[in-house]
Chains A and B, each alone.
Chain A
């Protein structure tokens, strides 16, 4: 009951504020009247009675205030008062308020924008119920901490482990030829093969229709059913719910639509959002490795495995269990599982090991935080200056008995409001940053598959914005609030300008300048290093030709070609190309340099090489190419020969390796005539017939071992056709289309574009995104620093106008004044530079270890950045200093 009464009065005090106030006013006034009457009745003259009553009452307003303080919710009330007051005083200085809000918005916006990147890449939980229970199971080797499992291995893990509520498997999203009606030319969609229990174990209920049944992935080829992704269903079927039961054609096989995944489940991977989910049992239609039997071969490792931890099972138990299992595999199948382990990763581990792009996110967030810090110090400096100007007001309040705490609270309320306005505007800027990222989507992903940049302005990022606002309010508001309430009352009340030039007072402000200069120096260094790092990576020489090339990809499986038909198609295609006018040369390759798909690996043992006891083989990157590849792609053969038409399937197995490989395994580098065995020392023998020049396969990739295998001896289904043109490569598009149509009118052509264009996107425009982002952060940091420094010196000048006037009247030359005013600023810049250099150096080490690995120190970066910094800050101090040196003494002495 008392609690209820309290709540009621709280609400009344709060919402019927006016009535409560009117009541109080009447009550106190009536009291006064009654007092007077009482005294008049006692015989006092009216005027004297009025006076006595007022004295006895002690002031109507004071009594009312005392009652207000006793009321429930008085604290909130006074907070509201602070709020109103703060708004009033901020509106009095609109210019300053706007500047502060914009400054903070830049810092908060940059940070939230880059945080969304890091969140999307690492932290955002899987879009399933209880996402933290989902772990990833991987196979590991000496060379890789993240390998897939084969179907057989998956079945063993699923059936023999006890730590999980369910183990699921899925293949990476692949291009699937989709046609809604049979007979139409298939279009490329993103399809993913999943185990029958996939949706059930993840806890995803279909939007409608049904999920797969667990047994639907068991009989190879039996259950041709498909679940549609939510976006795909909306786009392709116009959200038609009668789609269930419809037949669609995937890679030439009819599938029945059984369900649609819900909107909440765009897929488990960070980037790809599958259009179609098919059961693993249909692998014959989709499997990428046509030389292996998906259902039987234990080394056909195409599956990613995830599992949901049982309640009560620890990660440790799961890890041990899987490690034992891997050991058993190794014992049972020594040939294909030698020195192969297995690990269980959490979501965080999975995301950080799988894809390295998050490292950019970390660097970006660090830099954005530096921008925010510069912004905060700038604002702190401004608030400090302002609170000095308000010193008198504050002194009066203190003298009238306002508590210091209350004043600090008031000042903090002001900076909180500023920070929230800044945060609000920062959300807009952060949104802009994210949108900017999205506008680069077509550069980042040059593919027809459904992939998207996973950065969103979601509630997690908004929450980060709010937290950043509060943090920056404290950062930029606390110090000024503490300092300005510690005034010397007597002095403050006596003069308008309270600056008793105390050393201590200026110390904090100097610190701000030093922090700013060092932060922005670090930012500039970082942007410079980023640009140089990418430039470096490219200047290293890519070692191949990019111009006058047209690329287009094929995957005959999309229209249900078998292996023989596929190879026949490629043979005919190459022949037709050579006959086409305008074509100088032609090549077929599984991968292209700087391509999107990962290179495949090859396991081998160099003949006559003593293997270490704990390894069965080495791994190298490989590519499958035809005999025209080296000429067309412009990769020089240093020794031996390129592939010839005589390297057929029945001929001796041959390979070309790159120079890196040759030097790696044969110290003299002369690999021609040497042999390697595939898979293990008992595998097929392959003769190395040539050594090609080492090329760069990606902008950030260091040179690696590389083995080229001829297409005729290693059939691959999906190949890229590269055509060298004499003129504009795009003019060859139509002739190629005609040639392909003549071979098979239904054959889809994917990714048809100029290779140079593709290369520029991958190697130049992609990195430009990072350089632009970091560069603009550096620029913002520099601008803010300049503004802060300028403000500080200008403020100092205005404060010392009289002093400068006196100096000049006594004979100081304007150069002396210039020195006096600038000297201080430059000393601070000097300190800031030294600290900034140290931080820049630390950041360079971090970037080297995370991104570029160029090693050493990039002296040029510092040579370029430091003078820039000095020049700009010099200007920022010079402008106000010059004004000071032109002060007319007569005017200055009359100042104020």
Chain B
């Protein structure tokens, strides 16, 4: 049993998936582990959220999918960032920056 992770804020999942795919193409489990790693274990993405998000983003054209071999020579579906995806990452990053800044401001005022 994994320790209770933080629930993901609406809209941050896309950002995290895009960000983790910057490191290169990877399969679903890879994305999941990568997010766990880059958030210091704060977020654990469950497959029930991950796969719908991946498919949706593929349909949006931000990422593309292809079949490849896993480390253990297993057939697995890999995802990679597209040009549109990189652009989307910039948009999302910028948006996230604004949100955190605004929330920070809000919390600082007494």
* Residues of A near any B CB (own CB < 8 A): 1-2, 5-6, 9, 23-24, 26-28, 30-31, 33-35, 37-38, 52, 55-58, 62-63, 66-67, 69-72
Answer whether A5 and B61 are a contact pair too, CB < 8 Å, given A30-B77, A69-B52, A70-B55: yes
**Contact mask B46-75 → A, CB, 8 Å, 1/0?**
111101110110111100000000101011
- Is A6 within 8 A of B59, CB to CB? yes
| Chain B residues, CB < 8 A from A2 | 60-61, 84
- Is A26 within 8 A of B59, CB to CB? no
| Chain B residues, CB < 8 A from A33 | 74
B:4-55 near A, CB below 8 Å: 27-29, 46-49, 51-53, 55
Which residue on chain B has the smallest CB distance to residue A41? B72
* Interface pairs A-B: 7 shortest CB-CB: A70-B52, A5-B61, A9-B59, A27-B77, A70-B56, A34-B29, A66-B52
| Chain A residues, CB < 8 A from B53 | 70
Distance from A490 Cβ to chain B, minimum over Cβ atoms (Å)? 30
| Chain A residues, CB < 8 A from B51 | 27-28, 31, 63, 66-67
CA distance A823 to B57 in the complex (A): 65
Answer whether A34 and B48 are a contact pair too, CB < 8 Å, given A6-B59, A67-B55, A70-B55: no
- Is A31 within 8 A of B75, CB to CB? no
Distance from A248 Cβ to chain B, minimum over Cβ atoms (Å)? 70
Interface of B is mostly: helix
Answer whether A34 and B76 are a contact pair too, CB < 8 Å, given A2-B61, A6-B59, A27-B28: yes
- Is B70 within 8 A of A34, CB to CB? yes
| Chain B residues, CB < 8 A from A71 | 55-56, 59
- Is A62 within 8 A of B61, CB to CB? no
Answer whether A58 and B59 are a contact pair too, CB < 8 Å, given A31-B28, A35-B29: no
- Please give 16 more A-B residue pairs, beta carbons under 8 A apart, in addition to A5-B61, A27-B77, A66-B52: A2-B60, A5-B59, A6-B59, A6-B60, A26-B77, A27-B51, A27-B76, A28-B47, A31-B27, A31-B29, A58-B47, A66-B48, A67-B51, A67-B55, A69-B52, A72-B59
Distance from B2 Cβ to chain A, minimum over Cβ atoms (Å)? 7
CA distance A58 to B32 in the complex (A): 14
Distance from B40 Cβ to chain A, minimum over Cβ atoms (Å)? 19
Distance from A569 Cβ to chain B, minimum over Cβ atoms (Å)? 88
Which of B1, B55, B72, B75 makes the CB contact (< 8 A) with A26?
B75
CA distance A35 to B51 in the complex (A): 15
CA distance A23 to B75 in the complex (A): 11
Which residue on chain B has the smallest CB distance to residue A55? B1
CA distance A38 to B29 in the complex (A): 10
| Chain B residues, CB < 8 A from A24 | 55
**Contact mask B69-108 → A, CB, 8 Å, 1/0?**
0101011110000001000000000000000000000000
| Chain A residues, CB < 8 A from B48 | 57-58, 62-63, 66
CA distance A31 to B84 in the complex (A): 26
- Is A58 within 8 A of B70, CB to CB? no
CA distance A894 to B46 in the complex (A): 53
Which residue on chain B has the smallest CB distance to residue A30? B76
Please, how many residues of chain B have a CB less than 8 angstroms from a CB on the other chain?
25
CA distance A71 to B54 in the complex (A): 10
Distance from A77 Cβ to chain B, minimum over Cβ atoms (Å)? 13
- Is B2 within 8 A of A56, CB to CB? yes
Max chain A Cβ within 10 angstroms of own Cβ: one of B47, B51, B56, B58? B47
| Chain A residues, CB < 8 A from B28 | 27, 31
- Is B72 within 8 A of A23, CB to CB? no
CA distance A23 to B29 in the complex (A): 16
CA distance A118 to B61 in the complex (A): 55
| Chain B residues, CB < 8 A from A62 | 48
| Chain A residues, CB < 8 A from B72 | 34, 37
| Chain A residues, CB < 8 A from B60 | 2, 5-6
Distance from A23 Cβ to chain B, minimum over Cβ atoms (Å)? 7
| Chain B residues, CB < 8 A from A37 | 72
| Chain A residues, CB < 8 A from B74 | 30, 33-34
Could you name 21 residue pairs across A and B whose Cβ atoms are closer than 8 Å?
A5-B59, A5-B60, A9-B59, A26-B75, A26-B77, A27-B76, A30-B27, A31-B29, A31-B51, A34-B29, A34-B70, A34-B74, A34-B76, A55-B1, A56-B46, A56-B47, A62-B48, A63-B48, A66-B48, A66-B51, A67-B55
| Chain B residues, CB < 8 A from A58 | 46-48
CA distance A35 to B28 in the complex (A): 10
CA distance A56 to B48 in the complex (A): 9
Distance from A401 Cβ to chain B, minimum over Cβ atoms (Å)? 15
| Chain B residues, CB < 8 A from A34 | 27, 29, 70, 72, 74, 76
CA distance A528 to B87 in the complex (A): 78
| Chain B residues, CB < 8 A from A69 | 52
| Chain B residues, CB < 8 A from A72 | 59
- Is A30 within 8 A of B75, CB to CB? yes
| Chain A residues, CB < 8 A from B55 | 24, 67, 70-71
| Chain A residues, CB < 8 A from B77 | 23, 26-27, 30
CA distance A269 to B56 in the complex (A): 60
- Is B76 within 8 A of A63, CB to CB? no
Which residue on chain B has the smallest CB distance to residue A6? B59
| Chain A residues, CB < 8 A from B49 | 66
Max chain A Cβ within 10 angstroms of own Cβ: one of B27, B53, B59, B75? B59
Which residue on chain A has the smallest CB distance to residue B51? A67
| Chain A residues, CB < 8 A from B46 | 56, 58
CA distance A57 to B28 in the complex (A): 12
CA distance A38 to B32 in the complex (A): 13
